[in-house]
């Protein structure tokens, strides 16, 4: 039995040596660019048109999983000077931080700001932004609170209806297919 084991071991070494010298060259380091970073999702944030006070969507890219807490944080980060000046957008939201909780179909946004500084359009901005991220799911309800006190929106019939596109006709058109 020992002889058989020795023969098998020798055969394995011989086979390994033969296969190792098949003439397959080794491969050096292959440069392939940046590592994969995952899926980027488009997020619609609701801001206010400085021209007419109507809500207007601004699309940004999110590099992580999109949920209500992320879009509220993105909205509270505000606008870049370019977006304010060129697109004519503004925000009715004061500087604040938020705690966002989801329970069942209800999203609650608790803001750390003074209630008298939070107007109806600011509440609409938050509600519409959260509803936009939950549009594929059962949208449910969004409650905005300051110091535990629920805040009312603007009272518009459709607060999430957007006004004129801030890009107007200045957005570049995609070339037609085949030409």
Q: What is the pLDDT of residues 4-22, one digit of tens each?
A: 666 666 666 655 555 555 6
Amino acid 169: pLDDT: 41
Q: What is the pLDDT of residues 21-66, one digit of tens each?
A: 566 666 666 666 665 566 678 899 999 999 988 999 999 999 888 9
Rounded Cα distance, 1 and 11, in Å: 15
Q: Are 166 and 58 in contact (CB under 8 A)?
A: yes
Amino acid 104: pLDDT: 83
**Which of 39, 40, 106, 32 lies closest to 68 in space, CA to CA?**
106
Amino acid 85: pLDDT: 92
Amino acid 175: pLDDT: 41
Q: Answer yes or no: is pLDDT of 69 > 90.
A: yes
Q: What 3-state class would DSSP assign to 13?
A: helix
Amino acid 33: pLDDT: 62
Q: Are 89 and 166 in contact (CB under 8 A)?
A: yes
Q: Answer yes or no: is pLDDT of 171 > 50.
A: no
Q: What is the pLDDT of residues 129-170, one digit of tens each?
A: 999 987 655 567 899 998 888 888 878 878 888 876 655 444
Q: Answer yes or no: is pLDDT of 173 > 70.
A: no
Domain boundaries, the chain: 41-150
Give me 101's structure tokens: 């909780």
Q: What is the pLDDT of residues 85-102, one digit of tens each?
A: 999 999 999 888 899 998
Amino acid 88: pLDDT: 93
Amino acid 131: pLDDT: 92
**Mean pLDDT of the region 110-133:** 85
**pLDDT class of 71 with cuts at 50, 70, 90:** very high
**Which of 138, 135, 121, 71 lies closest to 98 in space, CA to CA?**
71
Q: Are 109 and 145 in contact (CB under 8 A)?
A: yes
Rounded Cα distance, 5 and 158, in Å: 83
């Amino acid at each position: 039995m020992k002889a058989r084991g020795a023969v098998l071991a020798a055969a394995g070494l011989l086979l390994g040596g033969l296969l190792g010298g098949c003439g397959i060259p080794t491969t050096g380091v292959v440069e392939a660019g940046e590592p994969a970073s995952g899926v980027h999702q488009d997020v619609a944030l609701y801001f206010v048109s400085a021209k007419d006070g109507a809500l207007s969507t601004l699309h940004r890219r999110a590099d992580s999983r999109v949920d209500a807490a992320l879009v509220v944080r993105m909205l509270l980060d505000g606008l870049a000077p370019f977006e304010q000046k060129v697109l004519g957008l503004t925000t009715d939201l004061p500087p604040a931080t938020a705690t966002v909780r989801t329970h069942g179909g209800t999203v609650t946004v608790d803001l750390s700001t003074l209630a008298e500084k939070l107007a109806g359009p600011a509440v609409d901005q938050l509600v519409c932004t959260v509803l936009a991220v939950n549009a594929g799911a059962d949208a449910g309800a969004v409650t905005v609170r300051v110091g535990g006190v629920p805040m009312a929106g603007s009272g518009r019939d459709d607060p999430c209806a957007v006004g004129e596109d801030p890009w107007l006709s200045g957005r570049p058109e995609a070339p037609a297919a085949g030409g």
